[in-house]
Amino acid sequence: MKKQTIIAGICSIGLFVACATNPLTGKKTLNFVSNSELFPSSFQEYGTFLKENKVITGTADAKKVESVGMKIKVAAEKYLAYLGQTEYLKDYRWEYKLVDSKEVNAWCMPGGKIVVYSGILPITKDEAGLATVMGHEVSHALANHGAQRMSASQLQSLGAVGVAVATGNQSAEKQQMWQQYYGIGSQVGVMLPYSRSHEIEADKIGLTLMAIAGYNPDDAISFCEASSLQAYDPPYGWGFDPVTEFNIADYGDMAFDYARVCDFPDRLTAHIRGILAAGAGSLTLGGDHYITFPILRAYAEKYGPLSLLHFDAHSDTWPDDDFDRIDHGTMFYKAVKSGIIDPKRSVQVGIRTHNDDPLGVHTIDARTVHEQGPAATVAQIRQILGDHPTYLTFDIDALDPAFAPGTGTPVWGGLTSSQCAIMLRDLAGINMVGGDVVEVSPPYDTTGATAIMGAHVAVELMCLFCWNKRQRA
């Protein structure tokens, strides 16, 4: 007990000494690392990086990066002067470099050392888009996020030492158990919240810098698109925030040779197989609905025949015995025939197109949902699925074209956004092991509403997946 008290006291003193108020956020932050310690190593690493990579100079793009960077720098100086913090940037040594790389990325090291990768320029498109990115990255440096992460990591290590001392008289097995519990708890309670809160802070400060630099912050929306329209608060109605409580990573696109489409299904199955082998699950965004079939094959290898919860205007079980054909209207016929989904434990919701043979898969068509309501529909779905491992696929054309016109095969009489929101939230607790949102095609929708619908559905599926993990932990 005495050992535990000593360690707790050391941690408390460290927290007391290391807390300081950041002038940009107004928050007290944990910071063991001073700029005099951090900046020299930052500048050295920046110089090493530039020597090891191809820096683009003299081009129109390089000049644009320099110009936007200068404007963001001046904006930061003006903002801090307004806050009465004219000395805050005195040790900064600003640089803005464009580096030749296909990677879609940009970053700012502590002390104002900025790199923009050429691969991000086709996405930023213009100065406003570039200012969105550079303002965000500079904000991480201004808010001392790098130093805070280093300090939190040091605190996490100190806590691990404390656990080792406090459990020193226990068996090796119990010591290992307590270290594992501590590792999980400190990661969720200390480290993960930094990721979410830091990104939010950088977004807010970055938009302020954009405005001061003479750019319209509204232009950031066209760069960030639907993701910037999602609320920063935890998703409504769930009572928790999956992004701060779970390790969620944007795994990026899966590379494949567009000239060898026939290789794509096996490549996708292998790709998802690797994710599952790591103990994770996948939420895939598409794209052609066919992708669900090769994804299901990987899931069936791990879980056996799955329950399929399928929101769609179409059943996608039209007959097709040529398994080499890539067709977004026949993949669930192939899934049933190959035994990777159990039709008796599967259900399709929102259907409003004719199919002679649903292959034993339960159907709750759109009219039934309209007439009996979301609550009764959810009760019916739960009865069918039970506690069986379930893959949830959501074709955006399950929604009526009034809500999601940007899709390849819209059908009238579909589900409303409110019906879908209620059903997805009320399905909390089903044994969802993975999912996807597919058939979103923004070029077919000049309003951007379909992308917003797809983003909201994806967030709800993320919550469903994480709810299951929380309850079963």
| Number of structural domains the chain divides into | 2
pLDDT in tens, 353-383: 999 999 999 999 999 999 999 999 999 999 9
pLDDT at 421: 97
pLDDT at 257: 82
Three-class SS state of 384: helix
pLDDT in tens, 412-457: 999 999 999 999 999 999 999 999 999 998 888 888 899 889 999 9
Q: 24 near 143, Cβ under 8 Å?
A: yes
Question: What is the mean predicted confidence (pLDDT) over 268-272?
Answer: 94
346: domain CATH number?
3.40.800.10
Q: Which domain holds residue 301?
A: 250-472
pLDDT at 231: 62
Distance CA 133, CA 228 (A): 13
- Interacting residues of 119 by C-beta distance below 8 A, sequence separation 6+: 101, 102, 103, 104, 105
Please tell me whether residues 350 and 447 are part of one structural domain: yes
Which band of pLDDT confidence, cut at 50, 70 and 90, is reported for residue 160? very low
pLDDT at 5: 34
Question: What is the mean predicted confidence (pLDDT) over 62-69?
Answer: 96
Quick check: 163 pLDDT over 60?
no
Residue 242: inside a domain, yes or no? no
Residue 234: inside a domain, yes or no? no
Residue 81: inside a domain, yes or no? yes
Please tell me whether residues 330 and 385 are part of one structural domain: yes
Please tell me whether residues 222 and 287 are part of one structural domain: no
H helix intervals, 167-191:
172-186
Total Cβ atoms within 10 A of residue 265? 20
| Residues forming beta bridges with residue 392, ordered by sequence position | 309, 435
Please tell me whether residues 200 and 257 are part of one structural domain: no
Total Cβ atoms within 10 A of residue 41? 13
Quick check: 168 pLDDT over 70?
no
Instruction: Identify the H or E element spanning 3.
Output: helix 2-18
> Residues 295, 296, 300, 303: what is their CA dihedral angle, to the nearest 10 degrees?
90
| Nearest Cα to Cα of residue 434 among 399, 391, 396, 394 | 391
Please tell me whether residues 52 and 122 are part of one structural domain: yes
Going by the DSSP 8-state scheme, the letter that residue 213 receives in this structure is T
| Region for 273 from its dihedrals, namely left if φ exceeds 0, alpha if ψ lies in -120 to 50, beta otherwise | alpha
Please tell me whether residues 198 and 297 are part of one structural domain: no
Please tell me whether residues 297 and 363 are part of one structural domain: yes
pLDDT at 122: 83
| Nearest Cα to Cα of residue 184 among 247, 226, 92, 269 | 247
248 vs 79, 209, 282, 372, CA distance in Å? 33, 28, 10, 36
Please tell me whether residues 225 and 107 are part of one structural domain: yes
Total Cβ atoms within 10 A of residue 335? 26
Quick check: 225 pLDDT over 70?
no
Please tell me whether residues 81 and 160 are part of one structural domain: yes
Percent of the chain with pLDDT over 70: 80
Residue 447, burial from CB neighbour count under 10 angstroms (0-12, 13-18, 19+):
exposed
Please tell me whether residues 138 and 266 are part of one structural domain: no
Residue 432: inside a domain, yes or no? yes
Average pLDDT, the chain: 84
Total Cβ atoms within 10 A of residue 312? 27
